Structure 1
Amino acid sequence: MTEHSIDIAALRREYTRGGLRRADLTAEPMALFEQWLKQACAAQLPDATAMSVGTVDADGQPYQRLVLLKHFDSEGMVFYTNLGSRKATHLAHNPRISLHFPWHALERQVLVLGRAERLSVIEVMKYFHSRPRDSQIGAWVSRQSSRISARGVLESKFLELKQKFAQGEVPLPSFWGGYRVTINAMEFWQGGEHRLHDRFLYRREEGGWHIDRLAP
């Protein structure tokens, strides 16, 4: 085995920013998520809305990638993507999905389990036209997850489309859309001293949410 200059087994620290107690919990998870997200934004964490999206392919191989959360409410959490992407292909045959928010600086994590449903064209169009114009053009450039020979292919295509759409509104690509994740379970993790972390799991049940404390 190759020797490494960094002894990663020895890297550790204490989690001391505070605990999470049952008295701190809200009746439903989205209210607590909103509190934590506001605190992450107030702390100016880089990409506070970034979440790891987990999907599974037809062979059962899990995949993860970082995606930005763009909306949330009592109906679920929303993100947008190319509908020809790897994640979209996975969700077409298996809509079960996991989301993970890693707020390391606050010693917090949030895990979401649910099902992804395609957004309507009206919802997608409303968001698409709220994006910066170059981002709208960028959505046209890439067949996400397909193989390309070089970055120059993307850059030349972007310039070509920027000229093509120089006048008027950038149309919504037919291959670009979004998903709403309806939530079945949500876990809140707060780091604790001596590795005695606090974990609470909300599970959707008939009539409301059931909350369990989990061992760290």
Structure 2
Amino acid sequence: MELANYRREYLQGGLRRDDLPTEPLALFEKWMQQAVTADLMDPTAMVVGTVDAQGQPYQRIVLLKHLDAHGFVFYTNMGSRKASQLANNPKVSLLFPWHVLERQVHVTGQVERLSNLEVVKYFSSRPKDSQIGAWVSHQSMPISARGVLEAKFLEMKQKFAKGEVPLPSFWGGFRVKFDSVEFWQGGANRLHDRFLYQRQATGWLIERLAP
């Protein structure tokens, strides 16, 4: 397969300045709802980008679990590589790749840790097997084989068989307090539409960017 020859046109529609609300959350929520309505696989999946102490960027996909004017929320093992990197450098980027709709949204900002109350509330809403899974995995740490995870899962499932699963002390979440949100809509002849919202002291500055 010649990758250089693979291309397609983006023809689903454009994005115009007159279509934009004064703040980005309204448009994001509209696009998210359209992604859900379109029955996309994992519409809440987002790429989280962090940087380690040596300046090496890392990316991984996590699921958005809450959104409001205060920020984008996700949960993780607080001993994971992403959590360790965010502890040293709270700056983060998010990317929502809605390819089927020829859209993507890029968010930048800084994280803050969620309160224990917020974490407990979400953790208690998870399916029990997911709660047990949080206990099993020391995320990002080397393991010898998958069987180690499976055996530990069965052990913990038996341990918590007759009661509630408590919140692990090493499990928590982050809120991304966003400073910029860029909306990208594919366009014909590679003339894509890009609009960048940047937070200002008096509101949001909106600029059209060249594709």
Asked if TM exceeds 0.5, the reply is yes
The CA deviation at 1:207 is 1.3
Instruction: Tell me what 1:182 maps to.
Output: 177
Q: Distance in 2 between matches of 1:46 and 1:30?
A: 22
Instruction: Tell me what 1:3 maps to.
Output: none
Residue 159 (structure 2) aligned to one of 139, 156, 164: 164
How big is each residue's C-alpha offset from its partner over 1:105-156, in whole Å with a ceiling of 9 and x where there is no partner?
0000000000010000000000000000000000000000000000000000
Matched, 1:52 2:47: yes
Residue 10 (structure 2) aligned to one of 5, 15, 19: 15
Letter in 2 for 1:96: K
Instruction: Tell me what 1:41 maps to.
Output: 36
SS class of match (1:129): helix
Matched, 1:204 2:204: no
SS class of match (2:125): coil
Q: Sequence identity of aligned pairs in percent?
A: 70
Q: Distance in 1 between matches of 2:20 and 2:126?
A: 35
SS class of match (1:213): strand
SS class of match (1:179): strand
The CA deviation at 1:173 is 0.1
Instruction: Tell me what 2:149 maps to.
Output: 154
The CA deviation at 1:167 is 1.3
SS class of match (2:41): coil
Listed as ranges, the gaps of 5+ residues in structure 2 are none
After superposing on structure 2, the runs of 4+ consecutive aligned residues of structure 1 that deviate more than 3 Å are none
Instruction: Tell me what 1:26 maps to.
Output: 21
Q: CA RMSD in A?
A: 0.3
Q: Distance in 2 between matches of 1:35 and 1:23?
A: 15
Matched, 1:136 2:128: no
How big is each residue's C-alpha offset from its partner over 1:183-214, in whole Å with a ceiling of 9 and x where there is no partner?
00000000000000000000000011000000
Instruction: Tell me what 1:79 maps to.
Output: 74
The CA deviation at 1:170 is 0.3
Q: TM-score, normalised by structure 2?
A: 1.00
Q: Distance in 1 between matches of 2:18 and 2:97?
A: 23
